[in-house]
Amino acid sequence: MASIPHIAVIGSLNVDLVTRTPRVPAAGETLTASSFALGFGGKGANQASACSRLSRPKLPKSSKAKPPSAKVSMVGAVGDDQFSQGMLDSLKEDGVDVSEVRIAKGKSTGTATILVEEATGENRILFTPGANGVFEEKDNLIPKDVDVVLFQMEIPLKTVLHNIEVAKAQGVQVILNPAPALPIPISIYPSIDHLIVNSSEALILSSSLENPEDAQQQLDSLSAPLLDAGVPNLIITLGSRGCYYHTLLRFSSGQPGRLIPASPVEKVVDTTGAGDAFVGAYAVKVAEGLRKRENVEVEGEGRGWVSRGVSVDEAVAWASRVAAKSVEREGARGGVPWGDEVE
């Protein structure tokens, strides 16, 4: 491992077209919106930005500032259009290495059209892949000397699955945030070290395995098929209700999962990107804990991990505080705090 751990985020880069509105119009209705803004996002880019911001102080050039706790690289593709350079520059401003980002000739940069309802802060999103769809199944996207790889599912699914297997074969820690959620092959679950989903994504994934009729009864029932499939660490985000996690170690010994209450929020301004902030924060804690990580073999149940320096409980609790702070601000990426802004 290098002097600091290296996180590679493999996923989408999109232009965000954000409209804020008092309420969402009904079918056939036209409303006057409050504002419009163009931003740079995509789940991959959002999570890379979150990882980078949360691994360093807000003023990294200050002589008194601590050095970053991780290097963060973005792996993906943008189009050869008017948006691509702005996208790359915005990531660089947050300290992200963009040398692994391709410029796809003849393609447009991906877009996300986002409606934010001002009264509640809730969002609705339409995604157009553009250059995010250029990758082939066997493209190897894993950078050299990487310690943690973080995937979503806004680039081709076959590319994601192939690179999860490549990363695991190289001994790299794999985090998957399967959004948008699609059923994935049961054979891939043992190669995922950390699976982070919201409740609806967990339902889709668990229902594609065994016992779908039990999946909605309670969180332990919802998590059981995924843990049975070989996932060592499962995290289910629950919005204002908090966060639930379960591990293969706890599951195999008959213990229930744990529910972490939501951190207090002064006022919800914008929930866009809160999930990405949570995932990025969790990834940073996984990377920081790698130096003191201890592999644990569980007889008959595969592997798991604990960290002498950072426990799953601590990582989830910190990620929850990060997500809570992010919803108090506007923007999917602009709302993500820096590392020294979260206790």
Tokens of 298: 């569980």
Residue set of the binding site for ATP: 198, 237-242, 275-276
Which residues are part of a known binding site? 14-16, 42-46, 154, 198, 237-242, 270, 272, 275-276, 326, 329, 331
22 inside domain: yes
**What does the pLDDT read at residue 298?**
38
- What's the CATH code of the domain at 22? 3.40.1190.20
Total domains, the chain: 1
| pLDDT for the residue 297 | 41
Sign of the torsion angle spanned by Cα atoms 170, 160, 250, 281: positive
Per the CB < 8 A criterion, the answer to whether 280 and 54 are in contact is yes
- Selecting among 80, 276, 313, 340, the annotated active-site residue is 276
HSE-up (13 A, CA, CB side) for residue 329: 17
Query: Which one has a higher pLDDT value, 151 or 211?
Result: 151
Residue 276 lies in a domain: yes
* 81-125 pLDDT tens trace: 999 999 999 999 999 999 999 999 999 999 888 899 998 888 888
**Residues forming the annotated binding site for substrate?**
14-16, 42-46, 154, 276
* 213-253 per-position pLDDT tens digit: 433 346 888 898 899 999 999 999 988 888 899 998 888 88
- Scanning 138-252, the segments in alpha helix (DSSP H) are 157-169, 199-207, 219-228, 248-252
**Does some domain include residue 343?**
no
Listing DSSP states for 89-153 in one string gives: HHHHHTT-EEEEEEEETT-PPEEEEEEEETTT--EEEEEE-GGGG---TT---PPTT-SEEEE-S
Flag whether 270 is in a domain: yes
In a domain, 48, yes or no: yes
pLDDT above 90 coverage of the chain, percent: 53
Residue 249 lies in a domain: yes
What's the confidence (pLDDT) of residue 65? 65
pTM to 2 decimal places: 0.85
3-state DSSP call for residue 298?
strand
Question: Does residue 82 sit within a domain?
Answer: yes
Task: Summarize the confidence of residues 254-274 as an average pLDDT.
Answer: 83
* 1 part of a folded domain: no
Determine whether 89 is an active site residue: no
pLDDT reported for residue 270: 76
**For residue 176, what are the domain limits?**
6-26+34-338
Element (H, E) at 287: helix 274-289
